[in-house]
Amino acid sequence: MKKEGKSCIALFASGSGSNVQAIAEAVQTGEIPAHIALLVCDQPDAYVIKRAEQLNIPVFSFRAKEYASKAEFEQEIVHRLREAGVDFIFLAGYMRLIGETLLHAYRGKIVNIHPSLLPAFPGKDAIGQAFNAQVKIAGVTVHFVDEGMDTGPIIDQESVRMAEDETRESLQRKIQEVEHELYPRVIKKLLTEAVMEGITE
């Protein structure tokens, strides 16, 4: 659903929400032509919820264990997304594998950011994995979501060079800086490219 020519998007997160903040700021300045209709969060105590409140983003938070199955909580999420008119989903540190129910409802319209140069280091603690492997080039990937773990088609990537004296913490800071610039840029591109316009109508 379009609101005043803008796409309605939802953000999904589980943690601190620094990417949510970066995206919301790019929406506020008009750089991203979107309306953030909903934040979906599976950790009711996560800091991202405080950020969303400050940013005036409506929140749906839930505890997975209060539902009988993934299909059940995803049905509830799909219902909330439809109600809010959402046509694109951007995962920003959402620590759950997207299941069939959501994939079926939003096929080709779910995008994720992952802190490694995929297909290297999928899954949890990608930054730690890259650091421990002592790669010379680490990085960030934005990709479409499919049924696998960080396996969907790659949309864009940016590399981060490991310094001689790099620590796990300094690498994380560098990667997050890149994320906060790359993700808003890619979202803007996706929402404004003619091919996506057709999809979101």
Binding residues: 17-19, 70, 95-98, 112
| 13, 36, 102, 186: residue in contact with ligand GRF (rule CB under 6 A) | 13
With vertex at residue 191, the alpha carbon angle to CA 185 and CA 194, rounded to the nearest 5 degrees, is: 120
- Beta bridge partners of residue 6, listed in sequence order: 3
Closest by alpha carbon to 90, among 42, 38, 158, 140? 38
Interface with ligand GRF by CB under 6 A: which range of 9-17, 31-39, 58-66, 189-197? 9-17
By C-beta, is 69 or 132 nearer to ligand GRF? 132
Tokens encoding 41: 């969060």
* 6 in Cβ contact with 73 (< 8 Å): no
The answer to the question of residue 129 lying near ligand GRF (CB under 6 A) is no
The answer to the question of residue 16 lying near ligand GRF (CB under 6 A) is yes
By C-beta, is 75 or 177 nearer to ligand GRF? 177
Binding letters toward ligand GRF, positions 83-122, x by CB under 6 A: ---------xx-------------------xxx-------
- Give me the active site residues, please: 114
* 9 in Cβ contact with 36 (< 8 Å): yes
CA gap 94, 186 in Å, rounded: 18
Q: Which residues bind ligand GRF (CB under 6 A)?
A: 13, 15-19, 92-93, 113-115, 179
